[in-house]
Copies of this chain bind each other. A is one copy, B any other.
């Protein structure tokens, strides 16, 4: 049986990759398809497709077909809270290291 920590980890594992974070940031405001994301992110098509699959399977993105294309949108805006806090903590850590160098 999956514990609560397992469930949280599944979401975070899906998020925890620079390219998947970049995907989410592009989808912050727009709905986009693989074919629009690939050039914007400069990712190989098959690689991007796999990253998107991971995000959809985790429930972070929704997707639907539109003719040839598959469109993607963020399923739950709260995901950006996670990214904001991660950014804040990373910033703090960067500053701490800068101070350590000065001293």
Q: Which residue numbers of A lie inside 8 Å of B, CB to CB?
A: 3-13, 15-19, 21-22, 25, 58-60, 76, 78-79, 81-83, 85-94, 96
Most buried by B among A5, A19, A93: A5
Chain B neighbourhood of A9, CB < 8 A? 16-18, 21
CB-CB < 8 A to A12: which residues of B?
Answer: 12, 15-16, 21, 82, 86
Residues of B contacting A87 in the complex (Cβ-Cβ under 8 angstroms): 4, 7-8
Tell me, rounded to whole Å, the shortest Cβ–Cβ distance linking A17 to chain B.
6
In contact, A79 and B85 (Cβ under 8 angstroms): yes
How many angstroms between the C-alpha atoms of A28 and B22 in the bound complex? 30
CB within 8 Å for A90 and B8 given contacts A82-B85, A85-B78, A85-B81: yes
